[in-house]
Chain A
Amino acid sequence: MQTKVYPKELLLLLCVGFLCFLGGIVNGLIGTGGGLFIMLSASVIGKLTESECDMYSLDMMCVLPLSLFSLLLYPEGSVDTDFALSMLIPASLGGFVGAKIKRALDVKYLSIIFACLTIYSGITMIIRA
């Protein structure tokens, strides 16, 4: 559907832009977490485009170029190439399987599990730092 931008909708557009900008800051700073802000913007985008916006797909597709850009900004030699090369197969296989099972599974329940794990990991990280 054609995106219509009226002056009164400019605020919503700015809101989306600002959330994505914040997502960019977080992704640039810690190499992850930017998707949180982009997912927040999905509902606003849904209003703007008058069509439902799949926040999970939006998150992944926006964080993909953002991650590439962020990675290019890291100093040379930051990536552990030995580990990364040995993990290329599970990473690509995981992405493939994840996309395939996405429709079959209720992503909401998986999100709950991952959210709990994320909170636990965050607390562990703070305590151990």
Chain B
Amino acid sequence: MAAFIIVLILSMAAGCGIGGGGLLVVYMTLALSFEQNAAQATNLLLFIVSAVSSAVVQMKDKALPQMKVILFCSLAAFPGALLGTFLRGYFSERGLRVFFGYVLVFAGAGVLLRLIRAKLSDAGKLK
């Protein structure tokens, strides 16, 4: 039941576009004792499900960005994903977890900094 509620909340965050996949990986590895790779792959599958569900709603609401923008960003990201997958083979389980932890810290800090910057910009303190 706890897993159901956690996945529901994190999928809602993913549906909003905030993210939450990282937290699901943490939950699966630390609370459910998944191996890092299994947690990552399972998280990807669950993210796809929630993102498709969210995209259908946003498509009806016409709230999606221009298709050419999505296509450009996706096509630019694909070679990176290939490289990332290739690099994954060089990481140990522990190394992958540590790297993952650092990415989470930087991701969270990045979001906070961007929001602070936007707030300051709105207040006219930053150009």
Residues on A facing B (Cβ under 8 Å): 3, 16-18, 20-36, 38-41, 45, 49, 51, 53-71, 73-75, 78-80, 83-84, 86-88, 90-103, 105, 107-108, 110-112, 114-119, 121-126, 128-129
Contacts and interface: CB of A to CB of B under 8 A. Distances in A.
Interface residues of B, number: 96
Contacts of B115: 108, 111-112, 115
Contacts, number: 374
Given A24-B80, A91-B50, A98-B54, 4 more contacts: A20-B72, A24-B84, A64-B55, A122-B107
Given A49-B69, A87-B46, A125 B58 contact: no
Contacts of A71: 41, 44-45, 48
Given A53-B65, A125-B97, A125-B100, A31 B72 contact: no
B120 interface: no
B46 A99 contact: no
Contacts of B50: 91-92, 94-95, 98
A117 B22 CA distance: 10
B123 interface: no
A115 to B, nearest CB: 4
